[in-house]
Amino acid sequence: MPPATEELIALTQAQLGEINEALDSGTFQQVRRLLNGLQPVEIAHLLESSPPPSRRILWTLIDPELEGEVLQELSEDVQLQFLRGMNTEKVVEITEGMDTDDLADVLQRLPDAVIQEVLAAMDAQDRQRVEQVLSYDEDTAGGLMDTDTITVRPRVTLDVVFRYLRRHDELPGSTDSLIVVSGKGEYVGLLPLSKLLTSSPNSTVREVMSTGLEAIPATMRDTEVASLFERHDWISAPVVDDDGIVVGRITIDDVVDVIREDADHSLMSMAGLDEEEDTFAPIHRTAPRRAIWLGINLLTAILASSVINIFQGTIDKVVALAVLMPIVASMGGVAGSQTLTVVIRGMALGQIGRSNINWLVSREFFVGLINGMLWALTMALVAGWWFEDPIISFIIAAAMVINLLTASVAGALLPITLRSIKIDPALAGSVALTTITDVVGFFAFLGLATYFYA
Amino acid sequence: MPPATEELIALTQAQLGEINEALDSGTFQQVRRLLNGLQPVEIAHLLESSPPPSRRILWTLIDPELEGEVLQELSEDVQLQFLRGMNTEKVVEITEGMDTDDLADVLQRLPDAVIQEVLAAMDAQDRQRVEQVLSYDEDTAGGLMDTDTITVRPRVTLDVVFRYLRRHDELPGSTDSLIVVSGKGEYVGLLPLSKLLTSSPNSTVREVMSTGLEAIPATMRDTEVASLFERHDWISAPVVDDDGIVVGRITIDDVVDVIREDADHSLMSMAGLDEEEDTFAPIHRTAPRRAIWLGINLLTAILASSVINIFQGTIDKVVALAVLMPIVASMGGVAGSQTLTVVIRGMALGQIGRSNINWLVSREFFVGLINGMLWALTMALVAGWWFEDPIISFIIAAAMVINLLTASVAGALLPITLRSIKIDPALAGSVALTTITDVVGFFAFLGLATYFYA
């Protein structure tokens, strides 16, 4: 019998359709049955794929026992929407039994008073663990870590380790190694399960443990943690505090979320959006967020227009200039955004720095020059045929070369410059670049025209 | 002693600086020592972060024993650059000892004759494994899988499994479960190492194995595999052929690469770039690739200009129109690209389909309307103050509302429409959208102006 996993994916849209139909016809019992037959992660995906009205109804139909698990699978933005609607007792109830890292994530979005009540409702050991995770910034290794580690001492034999493990009902998720610690709890090494299973039970932990892997400092940025996991194909890694004491471990499933968000960050920021943006956010949340970005762009568009304004007299003389001028600006914008995207991606991958930026800028200069000349020549022929005026052909070609060169070099230098003054290149880069290519494009084209036609 | 992992990341730029200096001063011996003291994945990262001239020199300085490992860590584009420079014997030599999935990846980029020679040089078992991986498309589960699985029978006791594992020197990387198969090799279930370690050695595999996880069909698309891993926090999963026979397993490290590429795809495609693009590709490769995209954009820019051309007479009368018209087009472009980005990301996450697209389009309509009116009013005031002409204020406000509405609805509908006709929305979406917002923007603004000033 062929396996059925492939259906899992296609299911979502079909399920959504079915659930929406059932919702419309008011047969909530049926929806409840459909919904609670799914895994929490699938319910979370369904909620994220639903517009707010169905989302609210769906939430009320989820089995209360599943609510906590569903909540921790939701993206930040959607999670917050549901948390806002809960009173403190509900939050206490729903967060029972969550992993410490997920619980800390949820708590961080709540008011201080609620956090205190949730913590007060926990037993001492769990509270201490959550407080430890909460003491680190959400975007650091400490904020990402789980505190449920299994540690062993270097002196014991593997046989003892086997007996120790059998006393557990199960191991914490994604456990691929046990952490070897000293009597004080300091990190000593790792005992991979695969080593444990392939070595003689009479060996000691010290004899078979791996010491090559350094522990991750709790204060390391989560994107750096992700990059280490990616480069070294880790599944889990120990986290230590400033004194080298093991405080938790990070697992690949949390790192995958960081990688996904990190990769989404460039895409979303370049359109002035947040990477946590809820696809189905309601109008009253979407409109204000986008308005700010549009406002900033209106300012830069007015700036570009004021350049055109300087040359009103010239346009009045040769109206064909008004027809052709958007082409110069547009081509500069496209060329610049290609360079900008390559450089921003390269920076996110940690490939670009002082040692190679000069080479990159000079490559972009020549690529801009070659493509500028190619399409300037093409455009000169088109303009010549269109307006039967060799001067306008020459002017647009020259302006295009100038603008594509500027765009390419600016696209390479802007992200580096912005980063050095602590501004996110993905967010500010595209606005800054469009402003440059519009202003330079209009200035070059209309300036040259004024010189030749005046 | 605080651990040193954080330095690992910062090292790259410092190392690059040091290595470049050493290269410039011609002290290759020093570079060789620096380079070969690193792990293969770090050497690969250094190569990817180097412009072509240093890249070529660095490659020659790598210890021949490390070459294969470094090669399989390189991104597709860079890998190909080095492979092109090798003769068949070198390829045979360098690919010895590679994982089957990595080897298959490398082979797929080579000419058929070379593939045959590499296969001929392998022993029968390895050849059969590689041929199996090669028989699946690179972008499927089969192309992604490793063939080094450890399988056990359901009837045996865990004690037998322990003894069987001890006969191995090590387990294949990222092994978190053994695959339970029938006598015919059919997939039966999984035996997680954590279950193995926490259960009684006298239990049978059948008693403790997990049967909840379905195996992945070898023909499933890699992005769907990634989505399953992401949703279920898997570390490895078995792969089966059409008859349910286990043919390999997929591990999270390969899935992370798919997730990274998948997330990069939207970002890079929206600028007409390939997600595998080498940041330091030489001019003669960069220029032609980008030229095509610029050419397509030139065509659409000319199309937009031909709209302006229709209204030359009106601009000739009121030259202020030429000053303001780029604002209308630009604001439409920005509003549209925000919607487009949200929808393309939502589609990549599998959130958007027929069941919710209507809600999304109507939200975008209202967000476009609200923000259109807000900034249209602002712009009307600015234009009124600038040109002291209430008609021009009204015209630009009306044109902005029309264009922002069109942009928002087009931004939501375009990706769905493109996908339904099998065109990649991330690649074609932004060009198509800009064409629409430019044409509609110019048409609305200049059309209204012609009506009022004629």
pLDDT number for residue A137: 87
Domains of chain B and any CATH numbers: 19-144 (1.25.60.10), 151-251 (3.10.580.10), 283-453 (1.10.357.20)
Which of A179, A298, A343 to probe the B interface (max B CBs under 10 A)? A298
Amino acid A364 reads E
User: What is the least distance, in Å, from the CA of A373 to any CA of chain B?
Assistant: 11
Minimal CA–CA distance to B145: which of B104, B116, B112?
Answer: B104
Residues in A closer than 8 angstroms to B173, CB to CB, are 233
Count Cβ atoms within 10 A of the Cβ of residue A280 and give its class: 0-12 exposed, 13-18 middle, 19 or more buried: buried
Minimal CA–CA distance to B173: which of B153, B148, B138?
Answer: B148
Alpha helices in A109-157 (DSSP H): 112-120, 124-134, 141-144
Are residues B355 and A216, on separate chains, in Cβ contact within 8 Å?
no
Residues in B closer than 8 angstroms to A387, CB to CB, are none
Residues in chain A: 454
Do residues A216 and A228 lie in contact, with contact meaning Cβ atoms separated by under 8 Å?
A: yes
How is A316-333 classified by DSSP, letter by letter? HH-THHHHHHHHHHHHHH
- Using CA atoms, how far apart are residues A39 and B239, in angstroms rounded to an integer? 22
- Quote the mean pLDDT of chain B: 89
The answer to which of A407-416, B276-285, B305-314, B409-418 has the lowest mean pLDDT is B276-285
Do residues A411 and A359 lie in contact, with contact meaning Cβ atoms separated by under 8 Å?
A: no
Token pair for residue A9?
A: 């994916």
Token pair for residue A145?
A: 């870590």
Do residues B419 and B283 lie in contact, with contact meaning Cβ atoms separated by under 8 Å?
A: no
| pLDDT tens digits, B321-369 | 999 999 999 999 999 999 999 999 998 888 888 888 999 999 999 999 9
Q: Is the ipTM of this structure higher than 0.85?
A: yes
Confidence of residue A199 (pLDDT cuts 50, 70, 90): very high
Are residues A13 and B355, on separate chains, in Cβ contact within 8 Å?
yes
| pLDDT tens digits, B17-62 | 777 777 777 777 878 888 888 888 888 888 998 888 888 888 989 9
Local structure of A192: helix, strand or coil: strand
Q: Which chain B residue is nearest to residue A141, measuring alpha carbons?
A: B6
Residues in A closer than 8 angstroms to B42, CB to CB, are 231
Which of B23, B145, B235 to probe the A interface (max A CBs under 10 A)? B235
C-alpha angle A343-A346-A348 in degrees, rounded to nearest 5: 110
* Neighbour tally for A303: CB within 10 Å: 12
User: What is the least distance, in Å, from the CA of B369 to any CA of chain A?
Assistant: 9
- Using CA atoms, how far apart are residues B32 and A41, in angstroms rounded to an integer? 49
Which of B233, B261, B318 to probe the A interface (max A CBs under 10 A)? B233
Number of Cβ pairs < 8 A linking chain A and chain B: 407
- What's the CA dihedral at B231, B233, B238, B240 to 10 degrees? 0
Confidence of residue B307 (pLDDT cuts 50, 70, 90): very high
Are residues A350 and B264, on separate chains, in Cβ contact within 8 Å?
no
| pLDDT tens digits, A107-150 | 887 888 888 888 888 888 888 888 888 889 888 999 899 888 89
- Using CA atoms, how far apart are residues B321 and B308, in angstroms rounded to an integer? 11
Among B263, B308, B338, beta carbon nearest to A273: B338
Are residues A375 and B331, on separate chains, in Cβ contact within 8 Å?
no
Residues in A closer than 8 angstroms to B16, CB to CB, are 353, 355-356
* Neighbour tally for B60: CB within 10 Å: 8
